[in-house]
Amino acid sequence: MSKLTSKLTQEEVAFYKKNGYFLYEKQVFSPEKLAELTGLFEDQLKQKGSKLSDELDTPHFREERLLQFLLADEVLDLVEPIIGPNIGLWSSHFICKDPFVGRATPWHEDSAYWKGRVSNFDNIITIWLAIDNSTKENGCMQVIPGTHNNGFSEYEKVDGEKNLFSTQIKNMDTSTAVHFELQRGQCSLHDSRIIHGADPNKSEFRRCGYTMRYFSTDTKVYADKNPNFKVWLARGKDLAGNIYANVK
């Protein structure tokens, strides 16, 4: 791990393991580096064509300059205390909810959309980096603490035009939901199995985040179930015989 970056304490890791999430209310990158990442995001927005702003998935496949952020010590030093020193880059996603029209994110588990693509979900983690301030008013992410230990939920269809996905978890009890309110440059960390969602953005303020997803390399990524998909070895060594874009 880098000596220059803040790492999670044992208490913070224990909180994550118990609850399935942690809010890192410090700046992940320097102001200069965050400004550069924001510029790359704005470039992706300009290139999106007819896609909605919340559909900018795996932008690092198109813009490899994003890898300097995805493979950065500032991020990996947050990931390593939770999933260990052997880290693969799974995916990334710009999720931008435009003012007034940003769609809701239905309650879901990330892992439910990756069934069959990997061997297990125990050590897959998402860093959600706030490009804009993320508040209750502009539709910040919410999680149901502890639900990463519950297994897969049952889903039902929803309106795909009003929602980011076309399915959501049935019979949701949101009474214990925690809102991830973050300032620009801060981040949250969450387990791939935790139940989470977000309200639509009905405010005048844009809400953009960059999700950076990682897995412990003892997880097998099934190549035949991931056509035209690439993963990177971010730190350490491979433990499952995976094929990486940056390892020849």
Instruction: Please give the Cα distance from 168 to 154 (Å, whole number).
Output: 8
pLDDT > 80? residue 2: no
Percentage above 90 pLDDT, the chain: 81
CATH class of 10-235: mainly beta
In the chain, the amino acid numbered 1 is: M
Task: Provide mean pLDDT across the span 220-247.
Answer: 97
* pLDDT tens string 27-36: 999 999 999 9
* pLDDT tens string 85-118: 999 999 999 988 999 988 889 999 999 989 999 9
Residue ranges of domains in the chain: 10-235
Distances (CA, A) of 227 to 20, 63, 129, 217, 234: 29, 19, 27, 19, 20
Instruction: Please give the Cα distance from 52 to 164 (Å, whole number).
Output: 10
